[in-house]
Chains A and B, each alone.
Chain A
Amino acid sequence: MVFSSAVWWGRGPSITISVLSFLAVNFFFTVPYYTFVVASTQDIITLLALLAVAEMTSRLAARLREREADARRQAWEASTLHALSGTVSVSTQSQEVFRAAASRVVELLAARECAIYLADDAGNLHLHTRAVPGGPGRGDTPAVPDLAGRAFTTREALEDEAGFTLPLAVGEKTLGVLLVRPTEGATRLPEATQRLLRTFAQQLAAVIERLRLQQEAAEAEILRKTDELKSVLLSAVSHDLRTPLSTIRTASTALLQEGGHWDEDARRELLEMIDAEAARLSRLVGNLLDLSRIEAGALHPVKEWRDLREVIARAADHLHDRLREHPVVVDLPADLPLVPLDFTQIEDVLVNLLDNSARNSPEGTEIRVSARRQDSDVIVQVENQGPPIPVEAAARIFDRFHTLEERRRGMGLGLAICNGLVEAHGGRIGLERPGEPGARFAFSLPLEEPPAPVGERPSAVTP
């Protein structure tokens, strides 16, 4: 009994039990019975023996219990750390990781608050993420606590009534501070928790550094792409501009050249050429303007409900000269609804698609323009009888990065602009059945306007 009490309850209770059992033995089993008189030295020895057993056993048991508690704490530390590490290693792609980590700290350590402060380039701390029990911290952003500032400059773990702070450091660099406020009533965080947070802070710092490097790499990539875009655009533009210029220059200098023999037909043809190519140049300049607006994200379609028939006819008239060798067949169902669109922009799309088709199909073949309603979209198709566009090129012909080497003549800028204009309308453009003879471009225009994003000017809608 003394033994088991020592094992279960510790030293104090087991000594009490040993005294009680001595008294009980003395009362019931020793002479004189039923009295508490200690009659013999033997009784004293019994009592002392009992006490010794109680003492020894309880010490042993206490050590056992401590070890068990240690083991349990270590297990808790390990599992908590594991849980925390999980938050920072699983989704290290985004800033979301900090929110998850802070909430997890609050949850697992039953903390009152967990906040992550990060330093900017100038070395000033700013609150990045804050979590309190039951979700992310809301309300006013509290000022950076003094303690956090000190932990940041001294690079040491600090503690006061405000909470416990740890610097987030990688190598020589201090990136920020982790602040944890213990539960109400508890003045300081237990040693084990502090130890755990130190390890966690190291992991967190590594993640912050990695994210920063990723961001830098992404920015460098954007710069590289922008440079690439510029050079591709420049070569595409110079080719596209120079071609009509060449024709104009050849035709005009031919007319000016002395010694030539001109009949009226030849002279007229050259003049018409100059006129047509000047119109083409003007279209190209328009395209460049569109492109710069697309690039700047400044393309806001002003949508009106319009009859596609009219837009198609205008585009075809616009390209009159270019379409001389290509009859345009327009096939629209009688019940095709009006479509909300920006007239000039969709006309530009059609001009580019028709121009592209005229350029890339044999003279004398027809170009077919059709449209149909499909669910809440109107699909417009422009189909020519030119050679097939290879499947592997199909995805790239609308790409601004499509390089000059790969691009067939005239397939660079125009299609990229179509893509930008259709997307600005909330539609999509693509090449149907690539690899088959007769390229068929198709783009969709949504009939129901999606809710206008905040800050965009309201569309002028005339039903």
Chain B
Amino acid sequence: MSGARILVVDDERQIRRALRRALEAHGYEVRGVDTGEEALAALKWRPDVILLDLMLPDMDGLAVARRIREQSGVPILVLSVRGEERQKVQALDEGVDDYITKPFGTAELLARIRVALRHVAQQPVAPVVEVGDLRVDLDRRLVARGGTEVHLTPTEYEVLKYLVHHAGKVVTHRMLLQQVWGADYAAETQYLHVFMSQLRHKLEPDPARPRYILTEPGVGYRFCAPV
């Protein structure tokens, strides 16, 4: 995916400069802007991924994301800080693809960008996903751990399937609930936590320190992307 275009929207010049250097060293083409208006204008440049800070001087980052979505399906990665969970969840529920919390390391950022690019490339999800000792066969609805089949209830399987389909990306509570239980249950996060706990007990070697289904506190869950 080298050569992909990345648009950085952040009003801190230093952060833009650092990101540009860091990403260019990995072969990306980078352009930085510092306002929402400029970000919208830069869509003409056809970026492949947009890194968007939620706090912009001229307009609300959420509004910028919404307006980008009206014109383009380009993956949007929100650059946020801890304490902005509510805005993050709202942004994700409104179609932002992922977020990364400042200060972040370059490795993490590069991984998120790769996931975003893979999803946008609409690569079909491999019918068999293998991570560590976990094997999910989506064609045959088979889940195995260390070669032994694990029996999942239909709901547990649906939850896992949705997470695997979005491997590497954060999935909000609301998205999972709507997908698996239906729109009426979108606010019933307790349901979700109960099922997630059962699922982890069946899949994770140490459910207290999950390796496959990661918790994004206050936001949702993330299925560990296969390496």
Q: Judge: A and B partners, yes or no.
A: yes
* Interface pair A250/B15, CB less than 8 Å apart: yes
Given contacts A260-B25, A261-B25, is CB(A247)–CB(B15) below 8 Å?
yes
* Interface pair B103/A260, CB less than 8 Å apart: no
Does A235 sit at the interface, judged by CB under 8 A?
A: yes
* Interface pair A249/B17, CB less than 8 Å apart: no
Contact partners of B109 in chain A: CB under 8 A: 250
Does B11 sit at the interface, judged by CB under 8 A?
A: yes
Residue of A with least CB distance to B105: A253
Partner of A249, one of B27, B82, B103: B103
* Interface pair A251/B21, CB less than 8 Å apart: yes
Does B194 sit at the interface, judged by CB under 8 A?
A: no
Size band of the interface chain B makes with A = 20 to 34
Chain A's nearest CB lies how many Å from the CB of B43? Answer: 23
A contacts with B: majority SS: helix
Residue of B with least CB distance to A274: B18
For the complex, give the distance between the alpha carbons of A260 and B109 in Å.
14
* Interface pair B107/A253, CB less than 8 Å apart: yes
Contact partners of A239 in chain B: CB under 8 A: 55, 81
* Interface pair A254/B21, CB less than 8 Å apart: yes
Select the residue from A238, A254, A259, A262 with max chain B CB neighbours within 10 A: A254
Contact partners of A212 in chain B: CB under 8 A: none
Does B83 sit at the interface, judged by CB under 8 A?
A: yes
For residues 100 through 116 of chain B, which have their beta carbon under 8 Å from a beta carbon of chain A? 102-107, 109-110
For the complex, give the distance between the alpha carbons of A249 and B24 in Å.
16
Given contacts A408-B57, A409-B55, is CB(A248)–CB(B103) below 8 Å?
yes
Chain A 232-270, CB-CB to B under 8 Å as 1, else 0, gives 000100110011111111110110110111100010011
* Interface pair B18/A251, CB less than 8 Å apart: yes
Contact partners of B27 in chain A: CB under 8 A: 261
* Interface pair B12/A247, CB less than 8 Å apart: yes
Does A277 sit at the interface, judged by CB under 8 A?
A: yes
For the complex, give the distance between the alpha carbons of A213 and B168 in Å.
59
Contact partners of A235 in chain B: CB under 8 A: 83
* Interface pair A246/B21, CB less than 8 Å apart: no
Does A19 sit at the interface, judged by CB under 8 A?
A: no
* Interface pair A270/B106, CB less than 8 Å apart: no
Given contacts A273-B18, A409-B55, is CB(A260)–CB(B83) below 8 Å?
no
Partner of A246, one of B24, B57, B102, B110: B102
Chain A's nearest CB lies how many Å from the CB of B210? Answer: 24
For the complex, give the distance between the alpha carbons of A94 and B14 in Å.
54
Does A276 sit at the interface, judged by CB under 8 A?
A: yes
Chain B's nearest CB lies how many Å from the CB of A255? Answer: 9
Residue of A with least CB distance to B27: A261
Chain B's nearest CB lies how many Å from the CB of A368? Answer: 21
* Interface pair A243/B12, CB less than 8 Å apart: yes
Chain A's nearest CB lies how many Å from the CB of B137? Answer: 32
Partner of B17, one of A242, A259, A261, A273: A273
* Interface pair A247/B18, CB less than 8 Å apart: yes
* Interface pair A277/B14, CB less than 8 Å apart: yes
Chain B's nearest CB lies how many Å from the CB of A312? Answer: 24
Residue of B with least CB distance to A234: B83
For the complex, give the distance between the alpha carbons of A257 and B18 in Å.
13
Chain A's nearest CB lies how many Å from the CB of B181? Answer: 35
For the complex, give the distance between the alpha carbons of A243 and B102 in Å.
8
For the complex, give the distance between the alpha carbons of A144 and B11 in Å.
69
For the complex, give the distance between the alpha carbons of A259 and B24 in Å.
12
Chain A's nearest CB lies how many Å from the CB of B119? Answer: 22
Contact partners of A262 in chain B: CB under 8 A: 25
Contact partners of B11 in chain A: CB under 8 A: 409
Contact partners of B15 in chain A: CB under 8 A: 243, 246-247, 250
* Interface pair A244/B106, CB less than 8 Å apart: no
Contact partners of B83 in chain A: CB under 8 A: 235, 238
Contact partners of A259 in chain B: CB under 8 A: 26
User: Would you list 6 pairs from A and B whose C-beta atoms are within 8 A, ordered by A residue?
Assistant: A243-B15, A246-B15, A246-B103, A250-B105, A250-B106, A260-B25
- 10 closest A-B pairs by CB: A254-B22, A260-B25, A249-B103, A253-B105, A253-B106, A246-B103, A250-B18, A246-B102, A247-B14, A251-B18
